[in-house]
Structure 1
Amino acid sequence: MKAQPVDYAELHCLSNFTFLRGASHPQELVERAADLGYTALALTDECSVAGVVRAHEAASERGLPLIIGAEFTTVQEHRLVLLATDRAGYGQLCQLITLARGRRAKGDYALELNDLLTEPLDGCLLLWLDGDEADLQGLAQRFAGRTWLVAELFATADREQRLADWQAQAQRLGLPVVAAGDVHMHARGRRALQDTLTAIRLGRPIAELGYALFPNGERHLRPLASLQALYPPEWLAETQAVARRCRFHLTELRYEYPHELIPSGHTPSSWLRSLVEQGARRLYPSGVPGAVQQQIDHELALIAELAYEFFFLTVEDIVRWARTQGILCQGRGSAANSTVCYCLGITAVNPAEQSLLFERFVSKDRGEPPDIDVDFEHQRREEVIQYIYRKYGRDRAALAATVISYRPKSAIRDVGKALGLTLDQVDALTKTLTWWDSSEELPARIREVGLDPDAPVIQRLIVLVRELIRFPRHLSQHVGGFVISQGPVSALCPIEPASMAGRSVIQWDKDDLESLGMLKVDVLALGMLTAIRKCFDLIEGWTGERLQLATIPRDDSDTYAMIQRADTIGVFQIESRAQMSMLPRLKPANLYDLTIQVAIVRPGPIQGDMVHPYLARRAGREPVRYPSQAVRDVLKRTLGVPIFQEQVMQLAMVAAGFTAGEADQLRRAMAAWKRKGGLEPFEVKLKAGMAQRGYSPEFADRIYQQILGFGDYGFPESHAASFALLAYASSWLKCHHPAAFTAALLNSLPMGFYAPAQLIGDARRHGVEIRPVDVLFSEVESTLESGPQGVPAIRLGLHRIKGMDLAVAARIVQWRRQLPAGQPARGAEALRQGLMQIAGLGREQMEALAAAGALQSLSGHRHRAYWDAAGVEAPTPLLGRPQFAEGQPLLSAPTEGEDLLADYASLRFTLGRHPLALLRSRLDAHGAICARRLRELQTGRPVCVSGLVTGRQRPGTASGVIFMTLEDESGLINLVIWPKVLEQYRSAVLHAQLPLIHGHVQNEDQVVHVIARHLEDRSDWLGGLAVASRDFH
């Protein structure tokens, strides 16, 4: 007779968020449990709830009850699982995880047995896996009526003995037994991957692991019939008794922003209105326009209805504090659609001037919280972060997490080691991979490094790498997303230490927070804000005038002329290769043009075929037509082409009858359709709505194709407008204060697209004198000095020396300032006495200064400086100072080539002749012309060029084309490398520092490219010169 099917809930299950143990995604576990007919699934990752939101989403779709818990191993080596029964129990579980994680460094935890006896855990159930029986008796008293022995049985020879042992233990302790599976994977097919994860975790090859591996592949979600054959029916039934007691659901979580920002006598709404009105009066001293006041009232009413006042007040407080400290900051993203944010000083874009759409930011129908991103100076953002921690405490403020997942390179490295490949083989494989190589291309890359892709071990490697890609590897901190709450954050989600000192993070990422409707403040870092503030400081020190972003003159013709020439190296947002190619074509002449410029060089407009129609209409080569006045009102500023997300939303509303909420749902679907699909219902509604309103099928199809393009990333207009303000400000500074701007950029690195060598070369081409690092003249950072005709020159700072500690640089400056006025130190004696004794520099630091040429004023050329730094003339402690002067050795000055190599090794640039100037005769012999001559050549002209590689890019929209930038002594050369050429000359394209290229010229609209046909790697001509390039960022 066939046994009746049983009900079963899995109560002990690890996902891949138990890093390097679990071998399945949370979603896979939920799907498999639902397919097998389980009545519930408990996700019990080790000391973690990092995967529960993903499991919750999948469980909600499948209608499978999800139980939330965690597995722990105590310091005393007890193994157990805690399950949350209700909201209070979930909070207690999260706070216990926080306690355990907080005792150890990132990635580890320490739970004491005593914690289980003393911490509040009355809302949790205890499932005992293993450990000292005497300790279990004490816990069973604390968890009276809430403790179970867990029996985990597998098809092994000792099954009957293990059954008897559990039954005997249960009788001794008077505890019920419940069945569980110690699940590490959703299906048996992940066994090989689970073994591989074990090898990675233990740092040993699989072949050496022996009993460290599971003896079989049974730790997966098993069919009910298999479980019924293994377990007594009462143990299976007990899973239902446990599951019925676990009633908590993640939707019960409620999140509040801090309340203490409200002064006495005010409500949240009245205080927010008061601050907004103060800001409006400051922005409109002659009176707030009626339309602006109407918009303020509309926004405040909606904010109050949705109870978002505390959110806006919290962000306003952070921004206001930063400004009191002189920290430049500016909001961006969809928040710039808000007049309230503008009046609060959070954003700098006036929505009334841009015709922005508030519903892009806040809407009753959105179903998700608003998102406010604020950029702060990147070198001072830490001050803002620590202010947040001080104000709210570490229990009420924490950064969101980012899940770091395996990519092809990291997967190959770890799997290769696990399979026993040599380090040389693993290194060769990872070096040949690029970010765009998919796992399907692995066999070709493997063949390139001389391995056989058909060998059994390599076949295993390929399979395992494909499985491991996108697996979570560890949690890191989000770039700046803060969760700040009225109550303890740890009652919502556990907090754990970040790897960076002074930081703590929750175990959920931004997508988890968004899924649960939780608000976060993005405290982001922007290098250009640092550079602008430092530029303001330098200008004030030079001229006495204090500039501010708001006081920079608008509509400066010289600035826009510079932008139209694509003379924008170092300028925010419009300095990339693609942007510089677009500038002479679009020719921005005002801030709105610049907003379009920022937005149009993005995958969305490019994929949606919006760029060429816009440029053609702007140049008058194509007429602008609108199918209706309503569409004209939406698209007239962009010549009939939807470039911004807000325009797509508005088109859906005016041309297809979408509500504001439906339009926002369309926006979210646009952004996610390539990953998740889901645009089909919108296509039907959009085309039907347009047909109903008399629009042609061709127009509807064109709009829908443009919407599809936004799936590849498109800017909201508000975001582009915020960035355009900084693009213009940095352009104006470059145009009118080139020395201060370049010095500020050098003092703000790393940031932007260009290395110091390119920034310095560009400044020199603009007539700025650059003076070398020198211990007698340099400050810690680069500064301005008086140059010819009173024009400022740049004195490079000591911080430019490779490996220079800023504290050491500060001591050098302090030593120099103590020198007697008018008596500069000279010679080895001053060098020894001053730098080595007063400034406390050791021999290694002295040699670093000598290598950088920073001792020239003291010792002369590098060879002499090295001799002095080596302490050859220093007195010995035993013999004291010699009685007779010793002769100075005659040291020849280094050659120009030797100086060049030393400059690049120590500074990464040279103030001498460009390296290619020294190679020009050899390049001439090979027919290579310089960058300056390219501008004179017509399209189609065959050409040979060469230069130092400064950057490689491969935009996702470019169909596999690689863009490479070279630099020679006269300027920059732009290369286009088509996929066929890449495959033929892959090594030279990806790795050459000095390629020699044959191709032909493309010279259109003042933009010159070389289309590569043949490449040779001539890096050996550099004689060991190390040149860094910015590749594929």
Structure 2
Amino acid sequence: MSSSFAHLHVHTEYSMLDGAARLDALVAKAVADGQPALGITDHGNMYGVIDFYKECRRAGIKPIIGTEAYMAHDHRSERIARRGRLDDNGGAAESGKKQYYHLTLLAENEQGYRNLIKLSSLAFLEGYHYKPRVDWELLERHAGGLIATTGCLGGHVLQALLRGDEEDAVRKAARLQEIFGKDNLFVEVQDHGIANQRLTNPKLVEIARRIGAPLLATNDSHYVERHDHEAHDALLCVQTGALMSDRDRFRFEGSEHYLKTSAEMRAIWSELPESCDNTLWIAERAELDLTFGQYQLPDFPLPAQFATAGEYLAHLAREGARQRWGEKLPENVVERLAYELKVIDDMGFSAYFLIVWDLIRYARESGIRVGPGRGSAAGCAVAYCLRITELDPIRYDLLFERFLNPSRVSMPDIDMDFDSRHRDQMIRYAADKYGRDRVAQIITFSTIKSRNAVRDAARVLGYEYAVGDKIAKAMPPLNQGRDTPLQYCLEFDEGHADGYREAQGLRDLVASDEVAKRVVDVAKGLEGMKRSDGIHAAAVVIAPKSLTEYLPIQRKPTSDLTIDEAPIVTQYEMHGVEELGLLKMDFLGLRNLDVITDTVEMIRRQRDPHFDIDSVPLDDPGTFALLGRGDTIGVFQLESPPMRALLRSMKPTAFEDVCAVLALYRPGPMGDNMHNDYAAIKNNRKQPEYFHPDAVEVLQDTYGLMVYQESVMRVSQKFAGYSLAQADNLRKACGKKDAALMAREEQSFVSGCERAGYGRDLGQYLFGVIRKFADYAFAKSHAFGYGLVTYQTAYLKAHYPVEYTACLLTSVKGNYDKAAVHLSDARAMGIEVMSPDINMGRSDFEAVTAGGARRIVFALSAVRNVGEGLVRLILGERDARGPFGSFHDFARRVPEQALNKRAVESLIKAGAFDTLGHPRRGLLTVHEPLIDRAIAARREADRGVMSLFGEISEVGEGSWSEETPIPDLEFGKADRLRHEKEMLGLYISDHPLKGIEGALRRLINTSISGLGEREAGMATIGGVVSSFNRRFTRKGDQMATFILEDMDSSVEVTVFAKTLAEHGHLLADDTVVTVTGRLNKRDEGPSNFVAQKITAPTNLRDHVPEVVLVLPSGFTSEKLETLKSIIAEFPGASPCKVRLAGGKTFDLGPRGLVDYEKAVGPLRVAFGSSAVSVV
């Protein structure tokens, strides 16, 4: 045998928070050492198999696919009691039995790979207990084509030896040999300098001799180089929550668990050279070729009269076309459908369209709202005919080739948006239709991002949070949502040049501070490692046969779901599923569809039984007026302050403008100022510029700007003579960053322009424009699909603001920050949100007419300690027998289960009984005995005591006929609001800042909601303190956290020791403060504001707020009369000032004094939220 070696016991980054070997570095090391093959044996999973296989093939080294399986003691169904810490070796033994053992399995061939898939899947589906476990029975059933080893110190054989039971060790090894075959069971030996290995290796050699099994030398590789052991140790601490300095923690002994060279392995096993030779023997035997790119579509069941999927699709398309365009189809429609149907059938995708059609059909027939189309699918006329999409692609010039290019065979991708509450129902339907063993959701992995790596490193090294936080804040800001890798913060790289320039502060810190250098060194080892697995938010796979014929699957219990309730999920990521040719579909749950569904239902129930949002005109003046004012809080995709500013500048007057906004409000177009150019040209502030007179034909609708990817395609078609398929290939090539490919494309494009008579110079100029723009251009079909959802939500807000806001609040019922935004917006529109009401309220937020006005009643189920079930009981009684007349009436009538004292107390504190005339404090003092008496009365009645005398029988000291009076006691404002906030998470009836918000605004430079829009730097925010909590750091220093809330939003504030020592005396719940500091934007979880200075402003209530009304040019006398009437209706003490578009301001004087609290809502309704401010 040669002097080479093949590593066959290898853990990668997919042994999550345990393996610290990145695939590329791992393969590169093996290739550099001349090793002929490399194995992958991650803990209990096959997550990394596809990426590992492809990386090895690219590098010219043979991949050997395997796993280090977990194995039960006897049977996978056993649940051995856990004792002490559960470590990597199965934890402490119970009667000699561990929770699990290790077993190394390698696929020798295709059969072995299939069996490996089945074993890995069944370990999760049938054997999960702390870990996914196989057992002897499963091994016997699926042994074909597999090579097994006795494993590491955690294996059955080694554990028997460590117990001192050598005969049991022999029996276990012999049993494995019997299962896998004489040449397929290897006795594995390892030497990492660990005493137990030195003790047991001679015994393993003897076992191999006794059963006639070959030896196999391995290194239990968990990282690539010896010096990576510290990063690996840090990773273990991230996994276990320990510090690296802790003595009693899970750790690896020594620094030998790296991918050693062949020479190092041969030197270690010089006395057993055959153990190294056998690695090469396995490498020679292992032959596995995975097939990629061959589509595996499930069959769609066809009606008997249709022979092929293509015939049935054509039939459905023709029927749908007549519904869309009428019995007599226009010629261009006939031609478009014929072309599309031929391309679809020629490419073999007719069944795919039928599958999607059937899913959408089921959703619509089940009353589940479906999105109008997302992505490029809106450009397909066949999809429009099948009601997969809802936008006419011919009317809006949406291109089929952008969706399905006949010159480039790739699976079509139709993403489906559903009401998010029914996404699981849609997946169940697919599973029922195609087979539960053929449908699964798709796994995804979270990684340790750069900033989190820094904070994790600081924590495991034992430093205070502030140390990691300081280093993380010195990192460059996110670039299009992505961190600059730590390596390229410290070393220049052209691809990360901007990040490097922004990282000067980090480099200075690392150069001057040994602690920072140590943290960053450890963080570099953590960065990019897989942290955990999860479920992709949208992706679902549907296979033609059982999924385990193609890939491994898993099922994991969670805190909410048992193992039997948990969803089936693939072990391969989305790109691996697609590369295997399986059908991947995106089932997206879109919350905005929930809101539309609920709003339409409420409108039909309360106002217009025939209302249909899908039939509203797309040229509605009221909708465009709302958009032009930027009153788009709660409108899909249009909520951010810069987006609202763009809307005010653009003043949309057509549906196409709404779609353009979505495409233009992105970093690329904004970087070229296209968004402002579009707005200026549209509103005649600037003249359009066309690079050639003939460009008017293709770019007139977008004012000469290439707003969409389809613009690029049309320009290429017009000027270079490209077909739309060729134009789409050019578009796609522009995103690949391939210099050689782009050189060929440029030559072809310029030649095309010359042939078309436009000349070389224009061709080169145009190619430069396209090359730059296509990299960030937006798909027109996607903009129009989502633009329709945007328009519909804007229409609902413009015409049904109370109903729409109520449903928005329901959709964010559990998210207090988002609810606060919508609550504030309701106030700005003059809509009152009432406290929960036991007679008017429902489980969700409800629009009602009260006091002659449309209002919103707070959701009863959103009250703390009050669940949906309890609300159903209350509503059942109220709907059956009418409203409650008093608390006594309530206690008498509702089912006993609804008289939960904790829940009733919460309802009282929230104000749910206010309209019955009961003061909250008085009711709280007597509600418990009243409930006790009501329950006792029922039980007496049940026993027949009251059967003869009805309610005149006495119960306890009094009777219900006397109705114990409720004391006339009420809370002060502060206590009332504190209880509301406690029970509702929000201030409803009032707000601690009401009346002082104008004065407070003068002391800050941003609202809390505006923090996210600011660049990095210091900010001053203000609000009321809640949840104030002091605690001690590991060093014994005192720090604090609290929630700071203004009228619109809230943020967690952290106060470290030094700042707390200076300003801590100012902090207590319900105090109003301003805080100066920096926002810490976290990769995962909510952001956090770190305080550096805190003040408690005084005399805020002495300030008399002013109302400022900004009026646009073209102000009419009709508007003036509206202003006068509002001032007259709400007289008060606040001055009202009018500022004209030119900047001139008028004080309306004594006749303009208003009650700002009452006047602001009507003013904002009349003139727009952005036009009215209180200072």
Question: What's the TM-score, normalizing by structure 2?
Answer: 0.74
Q: Give the match for residue 234 of structure 1.
A: 274
Residue 61 (structure 2) aligned to one of 53, 60, 64? 64
Is 485-494 or 716-725 further displaced after alignment? Answer: 485-494
Q: 1:439 to 1:247 in 2, by over 3 A?
A: closer
Between the two proteins, the alignment pairs up a number of residues equal to: 961
What is the alpha-carbon distance in structure 2 between the residues aligned to residue 221 and residue 106 of structure 1?
31
Q: Give the match for residue 939 of structure 1.
A: none
SS at match of 2:252: coil
2:42 counterpart of 1:45? yes
Say whether the 8 Å CA contact 2:56–2:63 is kept in structure 1. yes
What is the alpha-carbon distance in structure 2 between the residues aligned to residue 1004 and residue 970 of structure 1?
27
Alignment of structure 1 residues 116-195 onto 2, 5 Å: 116-117=139-140, 119-129=141-151, 130=155, 131=157, 132-144=169-181, 145-154=183-192, 164-195=202-233
SS at match of 1:784: strand
SS at match of 1:917: coil
Summarize deviations over 1:444-500 as a string: whole Å, max 9, x none: 99x99xx99977666433322232122111110011211011101122221112545
SS at match of 1:204: coil
Give the counterpart letter for 2:811 in structure 1. S
Alignment of structure 1 residues 292-331 onto 2, 5 Å: 292-330=333-371, 331=373
Residue 881 (structure 1) aligned to one of 937, 956, 978? 956
Say whether the 8 Å CA contact 1:406–1:472 is kept in structure 2. yes
Cα shift at 1:202: 3.8
What is the alpha-carbon distance in structure 1 between the residues aligned to residue 740 and residue 360 of structure 2?
41
Q: Give the match for residue 809 of structure 1.
A: 871
What is the alpha-carbon distance in structure 2 between the residues aligned to residue 640 and residue 753 of structure 1?
44
2:1078 counterpart of 1:986? yes
Cα shift at 1:370: 2.0
Summarize deviations over 1:912-967 as a string: whole Å, max 9, x none: 345433325xx54x7x56xxxxxxxxxxxxxx667863353248xx7989999999
Q: 1:883 to 1:634 in 2, by over 3 A?
A: closer
Residue 70 (structure 2) aligned to one of 69, 73, 95? 73
What is the alpha-carbon distance in structure 2 between the residues aligned to residue 184 and residue 662 of structure 1?
48
Cα shift at 1:19: 1.0
What is the alpha-carbon distance in structure 2 between the residues aligned to residue 218 and residue 710 of structure 1?
50
Summarize deviations over 1:272-297 as a string: whole Å, max 9, x none: 22222221122122322222222222
* RMSD, matched Cα: 4.3
Alignment of structure 1 residues 314-713 onto 2, 5 Å: 314-330=355-371, 331-366=373-408, 368-408=410-450, 410-412=452-454, 414-421=456-463, 436=478, 459-498=517-556, 499=558, 501-628=565-692, 631-651=695-715, 655=719, 664=728, 667-668=731-732, 678-692=737-751, 693=753, 700=764, 704=768, 707-708=771-772, 711=775
Say whether the 8 Å CA contact 2:297–2:582 is kept in structure 1. no
Summarize deviations over 1:249-272 as a string: whole Å, max 9, x none: 232585523214322343121122
What is the alpha-carbon distance in structure 2 between the residues aligned to residue 869 and residue 410 of structure 1?
49
Q: Give the match for residue 855 of structure 1.
A: 913
Structure 2 unaligned regions, length at least 5: 74-99, 158-168, 491-499, 941-953, 1025-1043, 1050-1073, 1081-1087, 1101-1107, 1114-1138, 1142-1175
Give the fraction of aligned pairs with identical amino acids, expressed as a percent.
Answer: 25
Cα shift at 1:581: 0.9
Q: Give the match for residue 797 of structure 1.
A: 859
Q: 1:272 to 1:362 in 2, by over 3 A?
A: same
Summarize deviations over 1:749-778 as a string: whole Å, max 9, x none: 269998334334433444545443111221
Q: 1:911 to 1:308 in 2, by over 3 A?
A: same
Say whether the 8 Å CA contact 2:7–2:279 is kept in structure 1. yes
SS at match of 1:389: helix
Q: Give the match for residue 248 of structure 1.
A: 288
Q: Give the match for residue 893 of structure 1.
A: 970
Cα shift at 1:102: 1.4
SS at match of 2:367: coil
Cα shift at 1:141: 2.3
SS at match of 1:222: coil
Cα shift at 1:37: 1.5
Q: Give the match for residue 907 of structure 1.
A: 984
What is the alpha-carbon distance in structure 1 between the residues aligned to residue 57 and residue 1013 of structure 2?
39
Q: Give the match for residue 262 of structure 1.
A: 302
Q: 1:652 to 1:182 in 2, by over 3 A?
A: farther
Cα shift at 1:112: 1.1
Q: Give the match for residue 885 of structure 2.
A: 825
SS at match of 2:314: helix
Q: 1:219 to 1:1005 in 2, by over 3 A?
A: farther
Summarize deviations over 1:404-425 as a string: whole Å, max 9, x none: 1113565456444533446898
Q: Give the match for residue 5 of structure 2.
A: 8
What is the alpha-carbon distance in structure 2 between the residues aligned to residue 104 and residue 453 of structure 1?
51
Q: Give the match for residue 932 of structure 1.
A: none
What is the alpha-carbon distance in structure 1 between the residues aligned to residue 1018 and residue 439 of structure 2?
44
Q: Give the match for residue 1022 of structure 1.
A: none
Say whether the 8 Å CA contact 1:85–1:125 is kept in structure 2. yes
Cα shift at 1:320: 0.8
Say whether the 8 Å CA contact 2:1006–2:1019 is kept in structure 1. no
Say whether the 8 Å CA contact 2:1077–2:1090 is kept in structure 1. no
Summarize deviations over 1:785-813 as a string: whole Å, max 9, x none: 33566x64433331332453111111121
Give the counterpart letter for 1:269 in structure 2. G
What is the alpha-carbon distance in structure 1 between the residues aligned to residue 648 and residue 858 of structure 2?
33
Say whether the 8 Å CA contact 1:657–1:689 is kept in structure 2. no
2:803 counterpart of 1:740? yes
Cα shift at 1:721: 0.3
Q: 1:689 to 1:621 in 2, by over 3 A?
A: farther
2:899 counterpart of 1:841? yes
What is the alpha-carbon distance in structure 2 between the residues aligned to residue 691 and residue 767 of structure 1?
59
Give the counterpart letter for 1:497 in structure 2. R
Q: 1:586 to 1:964 in 2, by over 3 A?
A: farther
Q: Give the match for residue 950 of structure 1.
A: 1009
Q: 1:550 to 1:865 in 2, by over 3 A?
A: same
Say whether the 8 Å CA contact 2:242–2:249 is kept in structure 1. no
Say whether the 8 Å CA contact 1:656–1:687 is kept in structure 2. no
Say whether the 8 Å CA contact 1:610–1:706 is kept in structure 2. no
Give the counterpart letter for 1:681 in structure 2. A
What is the alpha-carbon distance in structure 2 between the residues aligned to residue 157 and residue 656 of structure 1?
74
What is the alpha-carbon distance in structure 1 between the residues aligned to residue 705 and residue 254 of structure 2?
61
Say whether the 8 Å CA contact 1:333–1:372 is kept in structure 2. yes
Give the counterpart letter for 2:179 in structure 1. R
Give the counterpart letter for 1:896 in structure 2. K
What is the alpha-carbon distance in structure 1 between the residues aligned to residue 855 and residue 248 of structure 2?
68
What is the alpha-carbon distance in structure 1 between the residues aligned to residue 172 and residue 64 of structure 2?
26
Q: Give the match for residue 792 of structure 2.
A: 729
Summarize deviations over 1:841-896 as a string: whole Å, max 9, x none: 32211121112111213462221232233447844989961159898685542233
Summarize deviations over 1:327-367 as a string: whole Å, max 9, x none: 10023111112112111111112211222222222224445
What is the alpha-carbon distance in structure 2 between the residues aligned to residue 120 and residue 460 of structure 1?
48
Q: Give the match for residue 280 of structure 1.
A: 321
What is the alpha-carbon distance in structure 1 between the residues aligned to residue 469 and residue 957 of structure 2?
54
Cα shift at 1:723: 0.8
Question: What's the TM-score, normalizing by structure 1?
Answer: 0.83
What is the alpha-carbon distance in structure 2 between the residues aligned to residue 644 and residue 575 of structure 1?
22
